[in-house]
Amino acid sequence: MLLKTVFAAALSVFLPVSLAWAEMPDAAKAMFEAKSVTDRNTALSTLEAAAAKDPASAYAAGAGEFFTALELLAGGLHRHGFESPKSFMLPLMQLPVPDNPNPEPLTYEEFRAILVAFRDRLEKSAATLGSVPAGADIGMIVDLTHVGIDLNEDGKLTPDESVAAIMASLSRGSIDTSDAAPSLAFRFDRADGFWLQGYAEFLMAQADFWLAHDFRNAFDGSFHMLFPRAKLPLQDALVPLDGGMSGNIFTSEWRFADFISLVHLVNWPVVEPERRQAARRHLLEMIRLSREDWKAILAETDNDREWLPGPQQKGVSPLTGLEVGQEQVQAWLATLTVAEDLLEGRVLLPHFRIAGKGISMKRFFDEPKPFDLVLSITGPGIAPYLETGKILSSDDFDQIQREFGGAGFLTFALWFN
């Protein structure tokens, strides 16, 4: 459930831009207030043209490119009759895409193309946001109830497609969007640009990991649980005539059976090894950007509708209901160090049945071999990556977790990035 917040948070973060409403570039205001995809895209093109000379326009353009990446994913899924698994087990598949009564057939090649388009637009967003000077004076007030993405490819940006509505759906109502709820208007500043860029890197890592492998057998053998009317190979044999779609995959007997099939079929040959190597680089860049984010946050002296407040910016967030303390920040920075050490191979990941050796995550990404999920869990699949060295202990991680208190590590992690 918590990983659903990743997409909710990622969706909401596309909103940063520059200097309060009066000083915001006109095209940025037009983009965030647009009621149609055509108007939004026209404003985005204007911002992209001005980006090289104007940090505020670059910031806005990078944000727009991020949410159009999510729109490309959502539109592609909707086109083929996607039914959300409503499960944290498939984090790339969490967008609340509306029902499509007349879906188009879907092939494995077309699904890969959707992922490639999504990933490439994220790369463009990250590059544009990265062009904004670190010290640029950015501050843009955006109401999440007024900004959205086109989930059903009808060319309109409607209230039920707003970021606030999408976040509420992903969080199962834990975000209140009623008239009586606290305002969901935030002032996005330069620090939030690092945050957004980091999430772009995180999502690129996920997409590149999938694309590094040939997962055709998993697609043909189980993806009808996600696209039950898209003419996948086993639709006629295994999808109930009534569709049988309701709720989480774990509450639907036939979808749960297909999920088991998916787990069994995650035995993927490597077809683009450079993508698996790139996934590690994206994760390392995400860590670097998170440090830049917190450096900028801790230097702030204002306290104006903060998306991600520092300890010096008192008050409970209207989004999460949490307040950030120095203990959580220090624990998060320690977490980043642990994650970086794992990705660089300086610390090894433990395996429950192997003593004296650990898994080198650097080699897992940089020396890719076929990825078998079940054999990785049971041991044989990770044997090629075992090394002797410092192994991360449960005590190391438990100490970090305790600093996050009752709200839990994952809640803060998804918010902090």
Task: Find all residues with CB under 8 Å of 353, minimum gap 6, and list them.
Answer: 378, 379
- What is the DSSP pairing of strand 267-268 with strand 139-143? unpaired
**pLDDT for res 245:** 58
Strand 371-372 and strand 267-268: the pairing is antiparallel
Separation between Cα atoms, residue 145 and residue 147, nearest integer Å: 6
Count of Cβ atoms closer than 10 Å to residue 239 Cβ: 21
In a 10 Å sphere around its CB, with 0-12 CB exposed, 13-18 middle and 19+ buried, how is residue 406 labelled?
exposed
Alpha helices (H) in 271-392, listed in sequence order: 273-298, 326-343, 361-366, 373-378
Other beta carbons less than 10 A from residue 89's beta carbon: 13
List per-residue pLDDT tens for the chain, 417 residues long: 333 443 444 444 433 333 333 368 999 999 999 999 999 999 999 999 999 999 999 999 999 999 999 999 999 999 999 988 766 566 667 778 899 999 999 999 999 999 999 999 999 999 999 999 999 999 888 888 888 999 999 999 999 899 888 887 776 655 555 665 567 889 999 999 999 999 999 999 999 999 999 999 999 999 999 999 999 999 999 998 776 555 567 777 888 899 999 999 999 999 999 999 999 999 999 999 999 999 999 999 999 999 999 999 988 887 778 888 898 899 999 999 999 999 999 999 999 999 999 999 999 999 999 999 999 999 999 999 999 999 999 888 787 777 776 667 777 777 777
Per-residue pLDDT, 247: 59
Per-residue pLDDT at 312:
94
What is the pLDDT at residue 415?
77
Distances (CA, A) of 85 to 1, 12, 94, 185: 12, 21, 7, 30
